[in-house]
Structure 1
Amino acid sequence: MSIRPTLNVELHCHTVYSMDGLMSFEALLRTARAVGLDALAITDHDTLEGAIEFQRLARTRDVPLQIIAGEEKTLADGSHLIGLFLRRPIESGKLQEAIGEIEDQGGFCLIPHPFRPRDGLFRDGLDRLPLLENRPAGFEIFNAKCSFAENRKAAELLATKLAPFGGSDAHYESDLGECVNAIAWEGDLRTSIQRLLERRAPLQILGKPQREQDGERTYAPLYYRVKKYLEL
């Protein structure tokens, strides 16, 4: 029996196009190569501009790294939803409408940091879960920026029809690759991720665990205070 090749994929990261990101194309390319990524999804906050631009740069320079255009949309209640394989930005702040926008353009839905108190889609319970069941969709069982308790609680969703994935939630280059998904290659990148989200393909999540006493990680606080003034 032949062994299917695998891809190392980052499904949740940010660039300078996010209001809190500091990752240029050069930094992303350099670090992705260093950590052995085959593909990554750029999921900037409330914009698709950076993902499209970085895709263009990768094509222009014939870079082997595959870039997925995504967006981490802030919904009306402050919770976050990721769309992958997008051609247009997500406009609606309502969950059901945002899901429709993503799927209308052939994209997939991901739920980042589902139980994080300030912006997790399920922070108040699982009442919205039925909107995402029975479709190719994933939830972030491991987020490198979440607390041990939040990641552990995400494991409760394993009993649902959603597929687990991990994300580094990288905002600058030292974060990239903190969590990598090793997925089966199914002939092309989109099909490989679709089969993952349909729970029809094996997955290995390679992430750096936190200690149980760790709270939510706070990192580079000075950078976030000064970025808007420096126009980085």
Structure 2
Amino acid sequence: MTSRRTVTVDPHLHTVASYDGHTTPEQLLDTAERVGLDAVVVTDHDTVEGAHVAKTLAAGRDIVAVVGCEVSTADGHLLTIGVDDAPEPGRPLPATAQSVRDAGGLAVVPHPFQRSRHGARGDAIRAVDGIEVHNAHTVLNIRNSQARRFAVRHRHQMFGGSDAHRPENVGLAATEVPLSAGTELTEASLLRAMRNGGTAAVGRRTSAWQYVSKLFSNARHRTAALM
């Protein structure tokens, strides 16, 4: 049997490049290292500007930073992982996901079913690499449970992400990824391992105070999250 080791990545993170982000790329990396993450994916809303800054700053650090994006598709949000350019917003989710995969990246559906947070409906979730079954920004956990059931039923890979918009939430939830023993952790090996399967969602949820604070912040941008 091939020996394996597990690395931990937070694949859903925001910087100040997001309209609702309060974390600089340097703060994101500092916190990620402090809480013991092996890798991060920066997924700002419809931009890769902050992700490229983080990737540049990560050079020479003991952490891998991957460029990503939380793109606003016609059917809800979609995390793109490992693609250098932000996909065009407003296209159908399946077509966007397929274009990301054709470009060598991964497409993961964040906070599905949470329509007030632009989560995708089940009938729109096609041509993807995985489902976020543990989004840390929740209080009741209802939609996380629904997402997990959906992933099991349709045999999707499971991911966890903090959806952190502030430094203190980085790594609150994450994804464990199995790597073959002896494999160096790089962006390429991480993407390959996530694509091959065996991922697991781990972590906690935000406090009620943090949730309410984010709710009011989102309300100012007409994107209030109710669950």
The answer on whether the counterparts of 1:37 and 1:65 sit within 8 Å (CA) in structure 2 is yes
Q: CA RMSD in A?
A: 2.8
The answer on whether the counterparts of 2:105 and 2:191 sit within 8 Å (CA) in structure 1 is no
Could you tell me which residue of structure 2 aligns to residue 68 of structure 1?
A: 66
TM-score, L = length of structure 2: 0.82
Could you tell me which residue of structure 2 aligns to residue 20 of structure 1?
A: 20
Equivalence map 1:179-194=2 (5 Å): 179-186=173-180, 187=183, 188-194=186-192
Instruction: In structure 2, give the amino acid aligned to 1:152.
Output: S
* Aligned counterpart for 1:143 among listed residues 120, 135, 138: 135
1:33 aligns with 2:26: no
1:132 aligns with 2:131: no
The answer on whether the counterparts of 2:47 and 2:69 sit within 8 Å (CA) in structure 1 is yes
Could you tell me which residue of structure 2 aligns to residue 105 of structure 1?
A: 103
The answer on whether the counterparts of 2:80 and 2:105 sit within 8 Å (CA) in structure 1 is yes
Instruction: In structure 2, give the amino acid aligned to 1:97.
Output: A
Deviations 1:124-181 (A, max 9, x none): xx2223x326xxx010111001331111111222121310110100001111111122
* Aligned counterpart for 1:208 among listed residues 204, 207, 213: 204
Structure 2 unaligned runs (5+)? 222-227
Question: Deviation above 4 Å: which 4+ runs of structure 1?
Answer: 220-227
How far residue 225 of structure 1 moved from its aligned partner, in angstroms, is 8.1
Structure 1 unaligned runs (5+)? 228-232
What secondary structure does 1:5 align onto?
Answer: strand
Instruction: In structure 1, give the amino acid aligned to 2:203.
Output: G
**Looking at CA atoms only, which structure, 1 or 2, has the larger radius of gyration?**
1
Deviations 1:44-67 (A, max 9, x none): 0010111112112222xx122100
Shift of the 223–116 alpha-carbon distance from structure 1 to 2, 3 Å rule, reads closer
Could you tell me which residue of structure 2 aligns to residue 230 of structure 1?
A: none
What secondary structure does 1:170 align onto?
Answer: coil
Shift of the 223–27 alpha-carbon distance from structure 1 to 2, 3 Å rule, reads farther
Identity across aligned pairs (percent)?
Answer: 30
Could you tell me which residue of structure 1 aligns to residue 119 of structure 2?
A: 120
How many residues are matched?
213
